[in-house]
Structure 1
Amino acid sequence: MSIINHAKNLLQAAVVSAVVLAPAVQAEAITLRGASMFDNEHAFTKTMVRFGELVDQYYDGELVMDLRLNGELGVESDYVTFLNQGVAIDYSIMAPSNMATFAPAIPLMDMPFLFRDLEHWNAVLSSDVLAPLEGELKEKADLVVVGYSGGGTRNLISSKAIGNIDELAGHKMRVMGAPIQAQIFAAIKAAPSAIAYNEVYNAIQTGVVSGLENEAASLQNLKFYEVAPHVTLTRHSITVRPIVFSGKSMRKLPVELQAAIMRAGKEAGAFGRELEAREDSAKLKEMADAGQIQLQEFANREQLLELVTPVQDEYAAELGATDLLAAIRAK
């Protein structure tokens, strides 16, 4: 065999080998990491699991959805920083108040006494009314809202019974860090204090505060009822919990995956809203039936609405969001 023919045979063999091996050579899988403060049973976690399933369904590529639970990667205030910097995690669900450091107007979407009822709340979240706030969050925090979860009804949780505005006066309670939260609860005569979420249980146990405000899922999941068994049904908030994705992470992804994320986020948000709204009253009843909490209505709740409306109006005016607040109320 000539040297030329031998070379040709080697070349042909190499080509055949390359063709045979080509299907086994695949692009490296893309990993997207999420974070939850809660366990598998919490509505936030279930919603993020659903989000991951939908992203995987809509994206025709290799994908790993790595969701870390039980506060392994910190608390929501940590998540905001990570997402803004594009490190550690790519997506999460969190309270708008935790994003106020970057985008001061964002807590307006979660302001106490904003929504009349679940129907009003769902109408707002199913529309584009909140688009101005989404734009501010993207511009100032580089966070992308891909969907809206939430649906828990927040009530007062306390170590002593509170049934009316006189008993509420001077009540030391933990609130989220956004100033509007403290302003609203100060207006209804309580004594609000911003405390890190992971410190609340001990703060109640040691008497630093006498309670907090929260929805049933977190009350049950974090066992706040052990130190604060009284639940006063003020129904002051129906939670808005954006599913947020890091802008820095998003821009690194293939456009097809970005489209899948946006589509999945909207659908997962609707899934999460239905899930949490449905579970909320069931969880309250479950804890009450188990003797873990004592439920009480708040007398003359209309007094609270009268006290907070001027505070809401002033807050919106300071943000230049008077028209937005009017649009929300009119939905």
Structure 2
Amino acid sequence: MTIFKSARNLTRAATLVGLCMAGTTAVSAQEITLRGASMFDEQHAFTKTMEKFAELVDEYYDGDVVFDLRLNGELGVEADYVTFLQQGVAIDYTIMAPSNMATFAPSIPLMDMPFLFRDQDHWEATLSSDVLKPLEDELLEKADIMVIGYTGGGVRNVISKEPIENLEQLAGFKMRVMGAPIQAQIFSALTAAPSAIAYNEVYNAIQTGVIAGFENEAASIQNLKFYEVAPHVTLTKHAITVRPIVMSGKTFRKLPDPLQQAVLKAGVEAGAFGRELESREDGQKLQEMVDAGQLTVHEFANREQLLEMVAPVQDAYAAELGATELLEAIRAK
């Protein structure tokens, strides 16, 4: 039996509360509890994907599992999730951006590097293959975090207080980027002025003028109402998101073998489900905000020039990581 316990309808016994506070997975002869976390609400694709994962585990495992899924950032932000997963406390599984795991596994952000994928077909071919296994192995070795599937599919663009339509307007643009160095390197090469700011501080940072915008996909813009402070979207289309479904290695090793096999199978299938869902919803959500008058969309003049400007940065980054062959393998998919 699988029971979802969201922030909206959570009902826990005192024993479960004690176990969560202690930061240990509840494992008994009758029941196993796995805790998940999402920064978003029940309508977000990440949440729906984690619910699908739980349903599939229930289908493939002949035993009792309780999924305690916390939403709306109840357990912090993704940077917190990484620490929890690495230590094997508070969170057992989640979905997150690779850049947030760079502290433990410096190579992992390569899978989410801006301008890595030519198009949607290239992105899907990469994620449905085993080409990223070297990065998965590094993450497991250095952080004890397992990749059990890949979701994502949102197209990331630049969001700003004022319109940006060309390189001249992008020059000096004060923008938030994710914490991995490659993110700042890429946008610096495009003459913007990137800085790493905590995700939960972005709204206020734009509002107070610390930054003039950031980059993100439609679902997050809509879910967190970023359009209220940054009503312009520039179609740089610099990334199609790769969002690993991850589980704490410490948690995984405690599970009985049949459940481990169910988790691995469910992770792959939930990832495919999530990729289709988020890819489909991405354009719909962007159009909803445009139709509501919340966002104005701008094309970026001579976008092909951006690809030429960032290629040397990508090559140098891969060479520094000793991942030139991996980058070439991804490009060849």
Shared fold by TM > 0.5? Answer: yes
Classify the secondary structure of the residue corresponding to 1:278.
helix
Q: Secondary structure at the match of 2:129?
A: coil
Query: 2:196 maps to what in 1?
Result: 194
Deviations 1:87-111 (A, max 9, x none): 0010000000000000000000000
Residue 251 of structure 2 is aligned to residue 249 of structure 1 = yes
- 2:104 alignment partner in structure 1: 102
Return the letter of the residue paired with 1:297.
Answer: E
Conserved? CA contact 1:134–1:145, under 8 Å: yes
Superposed counterparts of 1:7-86, under 5 Å? 27-86=29-88
Q: Which amino acid aligns with 1:238?
A: I
Matched residue, 1:150: 152
SS at match of 2:311: helix
After TM superposition, the score normalised by the length of structure 1 is 0.92
Quote how far apart the aligned CAs of 1:284 are: 0.6
Indicate the residue corresponding to 1:167 in structure 2. 169
Offset, 1:121: 0.1
Describe how 1:1-331 pairs up with structure 2 within 5 A.
Answer: 27-331=29-333
TM-fit CA distance, 1:302: 1.1
Q: Deviations over 1:104-124 (max 9, x none)?
A: 000000000000000000000
Structure 2 counterpart SS, 1:60: coil
TM-score (norm 2): 0.91
CA distance in 1, matches of 2:65, 2:284: 35
Give the length in aligned residue pairs: 306
Q: Which amino acid aligns with 2:102?
A: A
Letter in 2 for 1:263: K
SS of residue matched to 2:243: strand
Whole-angstrom distance in 2 between the partners of 1:307 and 1:181 = 14
Cα deviation code 1:36-85 (max 9, x no counterpart):
00000000000001001111111101110110000000000000000000
> What is the one-letter code of the residue matched to 2:134?
P
Deviation at 1:27, TM superposition (A): 3.1
Q: Which structure 2 residue ranges, 5 or more long, are not aligned?
A: 1-27
Q: Secondary structure at the match of 1:170?
A: coil
Following superposition, the deviation at residue 215 of structure 1 comes to 0.2
User: Which whole-Å deviations, capped at 9, do the CAs of 1:181-226 have from their partners, x for residues lacking one?
Assistant: 0000000010001000000000000000000000000000000000
Q: Which secondary structure state, in structure 1, belongs to the residue aligned with residue 116 of structure 2?
A: coil
Q: Contact 1:27–1:62 at 8 Å: present in 2 too?
A: no
> Alpha-carbon deviations, 1:243-289, whole Å to 9, x = none?
00000011111011110000000000000000000000001111000
Determine the C-alpha separation between the residues in 1 that align with 2:300 and 2:43: 30
Q: Which is higher, the Rg of structure 1 or of structure 2?
A: 1
**C-alpha separation in 1, matches of 2:59 and 2:79:** 30
Where 1:239 maps in the other structure, the secondary structure is strand
